[in-house]
């Protein structure tokens, strides 16, 4: 994928003490290919590379101590900008209810996202109302009602014999009358953009005057998603985009081009069919994730909302200072297990993405058990100062944990790598990362 290709380019640069213009050119050639392969819009790629190159061949970069890191930082910043710079929040009406209209093609994820959004708002102590505005797709109303029941959010419906415009109007009124502060209108989609659909959406729009018009696009469709977004935006004045199915085998191109092509910010991403698989979209985190630096911040945030806040904070501090020990590692694994499917979590941890890709290590919950056994077979000193674990100690640990020397070696190597990456990450991001000031 995009991520692993870019990681390869950058692991070559990272170690270099000096970077020549040729090095930069070669890296940029590979970045360009990686982006095109990820189905990023051609023009977006061209502009992107030009911008990065302009900054990367500057004198400050060449003269810096860690030119490779500086270039990665430039790419990181440009990727972030490309996706909108900072997080774009959901609009809020000065006078409630805030009206959110969901639009998009059939199957993009409008109805499920409506449910996810309602759940998120409810968790924030709001009182959302869902409005069933898709009268065309068989069972679309039922689908929303089932979602509503699951999350205990009321669903307003007038059946499928009333026009969507009337339903939207009545739904909004119902929301006002019943003290709802958010009204989420689910609408119908078509298999392709067509004029009839657009006209109906324009009608709904003019009657309910939404604060948000969120276009829901399927990130798996790559360039098509971007074309659809462009088309809808010209017809409807979107306020934001929701990228769905980022959990799937997407090549990432949609995330990288949507904002650049439409000017419309990505506000949310969805990463699964479950109702809590909705996340505010953070361009800077997405960029880090693409660059393989992991998404520690997302993970920490998730940890904070799901588990022990104090522990998570302490973990964050340790990660930033690279004081991470095997004890922390174990504890983190414990917490990680509570967070959800191990595959998804590993993607967010620096270094772990790579671990997952290694053919000979299959990281699943069973594998986690073996890793735990290894760490538990270490002495307190060894856990705190992994550098003292020499060959004899490794043999002892392997015996004690019922694993092999190779497994122990591999884990320690991965751990070192992880620590190193954390250190790099905090150098780049932390307040002491002053070496990049030249830019
Ligand atoms: P709509 O036609 O736009 O309303 O689309 P739906 O909400 O009915 O979703 C279409 C299909 O995509 C359903 O099977 C959803 O479960 C699935 N889906 C929606 N969002 C996601 C996501 O983030 N990840 C995955 N894997 N599937 C999703
Ligand atoms: Mg639907």
Instruction: Give the model confidence (pLDDT) of 134-162 as tens digits.
Output: 999 889 999 999 999 999 999 999 999 99
Return the closest-CA partner of residue 196 out of 164, 160, 226. 164
- What does the pLDDT average to over 366-378? 86
Residue 261 has pLDDT above 60, yes or no: yes
Predicted local confidence at residue 360, as pLDDT? 43
**Ligand 1 mutation target, pool 119, 228, 271, 273, most atoms within 8 A of CB:** 273
Report which protein residue has its CA nearest ligand 1's atom 26.
272
330 is in an annotated binding site: no
Ligand 1 mutation target, pool 109, 147, 248, most atoms within 8 A of CB: 109
Ligand number nearest CA of 104 is 1
For residues 185 and 287, the model is more confident at 185
Q: What is the mean pLDDT of residues 240-251?
A: 85
For range 213-242, the mean pLDDT: 92
Whole-number pLDDT of residue 361:
46
> What residues line ligand 1, using a CB cutoff of 6 Å?
104, 106-112, 189, 216, 244-245, 247-248, 270-273, 277
303 is in an annotated binding site: no
Measured in angstroms, how far is the CA atom of residue 326 from the centroid of ligand 2?
Answer: 47
- Among 92-101, 267-276, 358-367, the least confident range: 358-367
Of the ligands numbered here, which is closest to the C-alpha atom of 147?
1
pLDDT at 350 exceeding the cut of 60: no
Q: How confident is the model at residue 81 (pLDDT cuts 50, 70, 90)?
A: very high
Query: For position 429, what pLDDT does the model report?
Result: 45
Ordered alpha helix ranges (H), 38-181: 42-56, 59-63, 67-82, 110-123, 140-151, 164-177
Q: Are 402 and 369 in contact (CB under 8 A)?
A: no
Residue 347, pLDDT score: 58
Is 111 flagged in the annotation as binding? Answer: yes
Q: Could you tell me the pTM of the whole model?
A: 0.69
pLDDT of residue 367: 73
Bridge partner list, 160 = 158
CA–CA gap between residue 252 and residue 163 (Å, rounded):
37
* Ligand 2 centroid distance, CA of 251 (Å): 24
Give the pLDDT band (50/70/90) at residue 338. low
pLDDT for 433: 35
Label residue 188 by pLDDT band (50, 70, 90).
Answer: very high
Residue 430 scores a pLDDT above 60: no
Q: What angle do CA 250, 255, 260 make, to 5 degrees?
A: 145
Show the DSSP H helices in 283-390 as ranges: 283-290, 296-306, 309-321, 326-339, 342-348, 352-357, 365-376, 380-384
Percent of the chain's residues with pLDDT above 70 = 76
The two most distant CA atoms of the chain are separated, in Å, by: 77
Q: Is the per-residue pLDDT at 431 higher than 90?
A: no
Q: Give residue 69's pLDDT band: very low, low, confident or very high (50, 70, 90).
A: low
Task: Calculate how far, in angstroms, residue 139's C-alpha sits from the geometric centre of ligand 2.
Answer: 9
For residue 438, what pLDDT is reported? 29
d(CA 425, CA 98): 39
Query: Which of 69-73, 223-227, 289-293, 335-339 is modeled with the greatest confidence?
Result: 223-227
Distance from residue 420's CA to the centre of ligand 1 (Å): 39
Interface ipTM: 0.99
CB 261 within 8 A of CB 41: yes
Band (436; pLDDT cuts 50, 70, 90): very low
- The residue-averaged pLDDT of 261-275 equals 93
Mean pLDDT of 367-372: 82
Distance (Å) from CA 337 to ligand 1 centroid? 26
Give the residue-averaged pLDDT of 200-221. Answer: 95
**43-47, 73-77, 96-100, 329-333, range with greatest mean pLDDT:** 96-100
Q: Is the pLDDT confidence value at 98 over 60?
A: yes
Give the per-residue pLDDT at 18.
67
Instruction: Say if residue 170 carries a ligand binding annotation.
Output: no
Is 186 annotated in a binding site? The answer is yes
> From ligand 1's centre to the CA of 136, what distance in Å?
17
Q: Going by CA atoms, what residue is nearest to atom 10 of ligand 1? A: 107
Q: Is 143 annotated among the ligand-binding residues?
A: no
Residue 62: which pLDDT band, with cuts at 50, 70 and 90? low
What pLDDT digit, counting tens, does each position of 386-410 carry? 889 999 999 999 999 999 999 999 8
**Predicted pLDDT of residue 6:** 75
For residue 353, which of 300, 413, 295, 281 has the smallest C-alpha distance?
295
User: Mean pLDDT in the chain?
Assistant: 82
DSSP for 367-431, please give it.
Answer: HHHHHHHHHHTS-HHHHH-GGG--HHHHHHHHHHHT--HHHHHHHHHHHHHHHHHHHHHHHHHST
Range 326-346 average pLDDT: 68
Ligand 1 mean position, distance from CA 108 (Å): 6
Query: Is residue 219 scored above 50 in pLDDT?
Result: yes
User: What is the mean predicted confidence (pLDDT) over 37-55?
Assistant: 89
Task: Give the per-residue pLDDT at 46.
Answer: 94
Find out whether 365 is annotated in a ligand binding site.
no
Percent of the chain having pLDDT more than 90? 46
Q: What is the pLDDT of residue 437?
A: 30
């Amino acid at each position: 994928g995009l991520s692993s290709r870019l990681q390869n380019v950058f692991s070559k640069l990272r170690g270099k003490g000096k970077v020549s213009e040729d090095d930069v050119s070669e890296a940029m050639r590979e970045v360009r290919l990686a982006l095109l392969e990820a189905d990023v819009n051609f023009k977006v790629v061209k502009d992107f590379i030009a911008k990065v190159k302009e900054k990367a061949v500057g004198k400050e970069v060449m003269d810096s101590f860690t030119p490779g890191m500086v270039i990665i930082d430039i790419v990181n910043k440009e990727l972030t900008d490309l996706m909108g710079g900072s997080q774009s929040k959901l609009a809020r009406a000065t006078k409630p209810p805030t009206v959110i209209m969901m639009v998009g093609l059939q199957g993009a994820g409008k109805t499920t996202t409506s449910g996810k959004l309602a759940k998120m708002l409810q968790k924030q102590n709001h009182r959302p109302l869902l409005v069933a505005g898709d009268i065309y797709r068989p069972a679309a109303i039922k689908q929303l009602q089932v979602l509503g029941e699951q999350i205990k959010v009321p669903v307003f419906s007038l059946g499928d014999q009333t026009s969507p415009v009337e339903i939207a109007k009545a739904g909004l009124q119902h929301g006002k009358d019943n003290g709802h502060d958010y009204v989420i209108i689910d609408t119908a989609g078509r298999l392709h953009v067509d004029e009839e659909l657009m006209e109906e959406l324009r009608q709904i729009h003019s009657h309910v005057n939404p604060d948000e018009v969120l276009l829901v696009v399927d990130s798996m469709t790559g360039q098509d998603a971007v074309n659809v977004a462009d088309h809808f935006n010209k017809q409807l004045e979107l306020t934001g985009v929701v990228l769905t199915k980022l959990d799937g085998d997407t090549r990432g191109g949609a995330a990288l081009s949507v904002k650049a092509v439409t000017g419309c910010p990505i506000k949310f991403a969805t990463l699964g069919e479950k109702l809590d698989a909705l996340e505010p979209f953070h361009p800077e985190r997405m960029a880090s994730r693409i660059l393989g630096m992991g998404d520690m911040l997302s993970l920490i945030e998730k940890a904070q909302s799901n588990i022990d806040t104090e522990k998570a904070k302490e973990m964050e501090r340790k990660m930033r200072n690279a004081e991470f020990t095997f004890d922390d590692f174990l504890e983190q694994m414990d917490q990680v297990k509570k967070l959800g499917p191990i595959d998804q979590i590993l993607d967010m941890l620096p270094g772990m993405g790579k671990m997952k890709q290694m053919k000979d290590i299959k990281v699943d919950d069973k594998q986690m058990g073996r890793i735990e056994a290894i760490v538990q077979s270490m002495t307190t000193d060894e856990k705190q100062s992994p550098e003292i674990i020499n060959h004899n100690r490794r043999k002892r640990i392997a015996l004690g944990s019922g694993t092999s020397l190779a497994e122990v070696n591999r884990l320690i190597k991965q751990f070192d790598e992880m620590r190193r990456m954390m250190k790099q990450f905090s150098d780049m991001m932390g307040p002491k990362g002053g070496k990049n000031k030249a830019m």
